[in-house]
Structure 1
Amino acid sequence: MARPTRFRASVVAALVGALALLSAACTPGSENAAAPPPTDRAVQTDVAALGPVTLTVWDQEVRGGQNEQMEQLNAAFHQRYPNVTIERVSRSFDDLATTLRLAISGNDAPDVVQANNGRADMGAFVAAGQLLPLRPWAQAYGWDERYPASVRQYVSYTPDGKVFGEGEVYGLPQVGEVVGIYYNPAELQRLGIAVPSTWEEFEAALAAGRAAGAVPMQLGNLESWPALHVLGTVQDQLVPAEQVTDLAFGRDGASWTTPENTQAAQKIAEWARAGYFNDGVNGVDNDQAWQAFARGESPFLIGGTWLAPDLAAAMGPNVRFMPPPPPAGRPVSATGGTGLPFSITTGSDAPDAAAAYLDFITSPDAMRVLTETGNLPVAGTAQQQPPAGLSQDVFAAFAAVADGGQLLPYLDYATPTMADTMGAALQDLLAGQQTPEQFLATVQADYTAFVDQNG
């Protein structure tokens, strides 16, 4: 999902003009959008016949299990294809978001990049003609069979970048994601609180934890995107699934200012006023929050499955995971989809080698490596054997939501600017500087402006 960030006085002036031009060129629907790359081309799948190749790969797989699986797969790829050297540039999610836009537009663009699915990143890169549509290689390697339509929609755009969820495929994800609730069984037992099985019980557990003098839930919202996950979790329990989907994909006719969305925003404000979060959430970063949870400072943490390897390493059996327990009578619903997909840039001088790399790191063998390193593979999930404990919880949660429940898109997919708009407005909502109604009006103004322009 898109998680925005906020470069040095001597450099800023030189970058302002370039960024302005780039922004115009990269905005979906912009008059300056580049002609889309062709969707048909001859494909070479005999990697050895390509001769010596150096592939520059930019990724954000920096956490423990994430980095481990990339190191293993890169080494295995080079062993199979010794003529291909991989130059890996690994950056945190936020650093990648800051630097990728400039790198991908330069004369020496990386060959393979992890580009956020959202409109502000992948959508903008597609509109500017900076990513290759993958249809030729999908046909050669059988990727349509590997990835069902429900997954392909998260990496699909029309060539002008305007319509998300349809058109050409521009990336391949490795992992599935679901945002749920981490909990500390020992801390719940100390507080005399049972593991909740419904949304009503979850809210009661928060209240009981607070009444017992505990901080019920950790949240680090300095980067502003983590609160989107909290809002999404609440919204998924209170708002009809079709409303959430229409809003997240930026469809005409959807509205943020509905009674159900108002109820969700009010709930976030109520939780903040009641002290359900740690103090100063807007001054605490996401890593600090999960680390505080890992130290036992709260019984609950709302977060994505990408945190599982680090939390398991830090907490062992004292951490479990569940999808948000639904209100009585409703199906289990959670925010999620895919991790950041791997894409091929139009600046790559070795797209066939890059496509072979994408095929390798998303193959059935790669899915087994992902499982062994504590990650959640997005393809062939049911065929994997996760270890007992947290990994098993994560696999079960993803299956429950994706197969029998409602897996709903990230909210910042809606518009190119929604991550920044909603992130800042949620900071204000949590700080009591905006009412729920003002928060929703701010978000709706961004949404309406985009839908009107994009129509």
Structure 2
Amino acid sequence: MRKKWFSGIVALTLFAVILAGCTSGDSSEAGSGSDKVTVTIWHNWTGQDAKAVAMRKIIEDFRTAHPDIEVVDEGLPTDGLKTRLRTVAAANEMPDLFVMWPDAMTKEFVKGDLLQPINAELDAKPEWKDNFIPNALDGYTVEGNIYSVPMNLAPSSFIYYNEALFKENNVKVPETWAELEQAVASFNEKGIIPMALGNKTNWVAQSTIFSTLADRVTGTDWFLKAVAQDGASFTDPQFVEALKKMQELGNIKAFQDGFNSIDETQMMQLYFQGKTAMVMNGGWALANLVNNAPEEVLKNTHITILPPVDGGKGEPRTTSGVVGTGLGVSKKLSGAQKDAAMELFYALAGPDGQKATLDSSTLVSYKIDLDKSKAHPLFVELYDLMQEVKITPVYDSKLGSATVEVINNGLQELLMGGKAEDIAGRIQAAQANAMKQ
């Protein structure tokens, strides 16, 4: 009886060992097959815009080309994705790959020990790493480690102008500050709005005009020092001068009456209706123009940048903006799962992914030629312009959220006659406080 009992235990043990061996591939790294690796990715490519469609196609093509890798993707609207990422970050339960933003979010996740750098992967492919535009990797670099690469480019400050209105009224498209002032005066005389502005939500003046204008006056190095509160202050004379230059535009009636009571959409409507000669907006406005502007306005629309400011310390051929979103790589990834995740990363953010993004009429932070025969002429014009200009920081990408609120509100007040020195003092106090926290 004892022998039978012992033999039964041995048999059960052997069966358990064999069963464990058969199922050992079914882990967090495995899918339905023992050799299949699972990679999870969260993204915001949920719409039917060309960029989203292009990115989803890359994922589908990757699945087809890699039957040994199971890609589990989840798409969320941008705001929902940001909220969800911060929720799982608090619990240290990040997906394997996820769309993330440069600067503040990247630094926050690095501080939480949630990301792993991709220096080795970039160094192994110098033809990839070396083709990003200048400063493109800065927003994803923390203490010398690179945590992602941008998958698009978001310049925030262009002058879109109606060439027909300039020609009809014998006005020169401005290339200097004096010519801009003359254009404003000429259009006002003709009863045409020189430049539409919709600053009701108050980020518009800061993002599309002031970030570039201020850089023209102060230069980028000064701004970054002021952000860090290291050798520069927002009460410095050059920043006060930048505020006064912005106020000058209001004083010479560059903008229509009531500019603080309409939003960006209404601002663009003024341009679509032919009531304004110019409008300053970001690269994102191009799709709106192409899809919604009347044909007569669209065919006469061209793009330029804000003229340089006499005596300013900033480079003249620049525009404010940010490099685009990238992909974060979970700190927990290793082995075959990390290898698979980095293959997908490269498919989406490598040269082929950058080309697919550009072909979807989306600017990229990457040196790649556009197939101009397939793109809308206005996008071709924007693309060509971006080959000549350098991106400088947009204020709301570098400053703390509390400071951004102060500067946005301050610009509204400034354009209504507020004192530049007082507004500068409040901005300085907000940023000094933010750096202490």
Task: Give the TM-score taking structure 2 as reference length.
Answer: 0.76
Cα distance per residue 1:73-93 (max 9 Å; x no partner): 33333333354335342424x
**Is the contact between residue 94 and residue 114 of structure 2 (CA under 8 Å) also seen in structure 1?**
no
Asked whether 1:396 is paired with 2:384, we answer yes
Task: Return the offset for 1:346.
Answer: 4.2
Offset at residue 301 of structure 1 (A): 2.0
In structure 2, C-alpha distance between the alignment counterparts of 1:124 and 1:448, rounded to whole Å: 19
Corresponding residue for residue 210 of structure 2: 231
* Contact 1:63/1:310 (<8 A) preserved: no
Q: 1:266 to 1:356 in 2, by over 3 A?
A: same
Say yes or no: does 1:240 pair with 2:213: no
Q: List aligned pairs for 1:16-415, cutoff 5 A.
A: 51=36, 53=38, 55-59=40-44, 64-82=49-67, 83-92=69-78, 100-106=85-91, 109-119=94-104, 121-142=105-126, 143-147=128-132, 150-158=135-143, 167-178=144-155, 179-229=157-207, 230-247=209-226, 250=228, 252-315=230-293, 316-327=298-309, 331-346=316-331, 351-381=338-368, 383-386=369-372, 387=375, 389-402=377-390, 407-415=391-399
Which residue in the other structure is 2:20 paired with?
none
- How many residues are treated as equivalent by the alignment? 390
Identity %: 23
Query: Quick one: distance in 2 between partners of 1:139 and 1:264?
Result: 41
Which structure would you say has the larger Rg?
2
Secondary structure of the 2:381 match is: helix
Mapped to 2, the partners of 1:305 and 1:63 lie a distance apart of: 19
Residue 129 to residue 372, structure 1, CA distance change in 2 (3 Å): same
The 3 A distance-change label for structure 1 pair 207 and 126 is farther
Distance in 2 (CA, whole Å) between partners of 1:123 and 1:271 is: 36
**Are residues 1:449 and 2:428 paired?**
no
CA contact (8 A) 2:45 2:53 kept: no
SS in 1 for 2:75: strand
TM-score with structure 1 setting the length: 0.74
1:12-44 Cα shifts (integer Å, max 9, x gaps): xxxxxxxxxxxxxxxxxxxxxxxxxxxxxxxx9
Matches of 1:115 and 1:373, distance apart in 2: 20
Distance 2:371 2:34 in 1: 36
Q: What is the alpha-carbon root mean square deviation over aligned residues? A: 3.4
> 2: CA distance between counterparts of 1:61 and 1:193?
44
Quote the offset at 1:173 in angstroms: 0.5
Match 1:427 to one of 391, 409, 412: 412
Asked if structure 1 preserves the Cα contact closer than 8 Å seen for 2:163 and 2:300, the reply is yes
**1:108, CA displacement in angstroms?**
5.2
Gaps of 5+ in 1: 1-43, 159-166
Give the superposition deviation at 1:182. Answer: 1.5
Q: Matched residues in 1 for 2:230 and 2:174: separation?
A: 37
Structure 1 segments of 4+ aligned residues over 6 angstroms from their partners:
none
The offset of 1:231, in angstroms, is 0.6
Contact 1:108-1:347 within 8 A present in 2 as well? no
Instruction: Give the secondary-structure state (helix, strand or coil) at the position aligned to 1:182.
Output: strand
